[in-house]
Amino acid sequence: AEHQHVRYNPLRDDWVLVSAHRVKRPWQGQLEKPPQEDVPRWDPKNPLCPGATRANGEVNPKYEGTFVFPNDFPALQPDAPEPDDSDHPLFRAAPAQGVCKVMCFHPWSDLTLPLMSLPEVRAVIDAWTELATELGASYPWVQIFENKGAMMGCSNPHPHCQVWASSFLPNEARLEDRTQRQHLSQHGLPMLLEYAEQEAHRKERLVVENADWLVVVPYWATWPYQTLLLPRRHVCRLQDLSDSEKDSLASIMQRLLIKYDNLFEVSFPYSMGWHGAPTGAYLEEDCRHWQLHAHYYPPLLRSATVRKFMVGYEMLAQAQRDLTPEQAAERLRNLPEVHFKKRAE
The answer to whether 139 is a known ligand-binding residue is no
The answer to whether 226 is a known ligand-binding residue is no
The answer to whether 100 is a known ligand-binding residue is no
Give the containing element (helix H, strand E) for 214: strand 213-216
The answer to whether 174 is a known ligand-binding residue is no
The answer to whether 24 is a known ligand-binding residue is yes
Catalytic annotation, pick one of 106, 158, 160, 339: 160
Distance CA 105, CA 272 (A): 15
Backbone angles phi, psi at 245, to 5 degrees: -70, -30
The answer to whether 330 is a known ligand-binding residue is no
The answer to whether 142 is a known ligand-binding residue is no
The answer to whether 240 is a known ligand-binding residue is no
The answer to whether 71 is a known ligand-binding residue is yes
The answer to whether 98 is a known ligand-binding residue is no
**Taking Cα atoms as reference points, which of 189, 178, 186, 167 lies closest to residue 281?**
167
The answer to whether 25 is a known ligand-binding residue is yes
Distance (Å) of CA 175 to CA 172, 276, 312: 5, 12, 24
The answer to whether 22 is a known ligand-binding residue is yes
For residue 104, the tally of other CB atoms under 10 A from its CB is 24
Buried b (16+ CB within 10 A) or exposed e, 284-303: eeebebbbbbbbbbbbbbee
Distance CA 255, CA 115 (A): 10
Q: At a CB cut-off of 8 Å and minimum separation 6, what does 187 contact?
A: 194
Known active-site residue 21: no
Give the containing element (helix H, strand E) for 160: strand 160-166
Q: At a CB cut-off of 8 Å and minimum separation 6, what does 255 contact?
A: 208, 337
The answer to whether 176 is a known ligand-binding residue is yes
The answer to whether 295 is a known ligand-binding residue is yes
Distance CA 135, CA 120 (A): 23
The answer to whether 178 is a known ligand-binding residue is no
The answer to whether 320 is a known ligand-binding residue is yes
β-bridge pairing 14-18 and 141-148: unpaired
Task: Tell me which residues are annotated as active site.
Answer: 160
Binding-site residue set for Fe cation: 176, 275, 293, 295
Binding-site residue set: 22-25, 55, 71-72, 147, 153-155, 162, 176, 275, 293, 295, 308-309, 313-314, 320
Binding-site residue set for UDP-alpha-D-glucose: 22-25, 55, 71-72, 147, 153-155, 162, 308-309, 313-314, 320
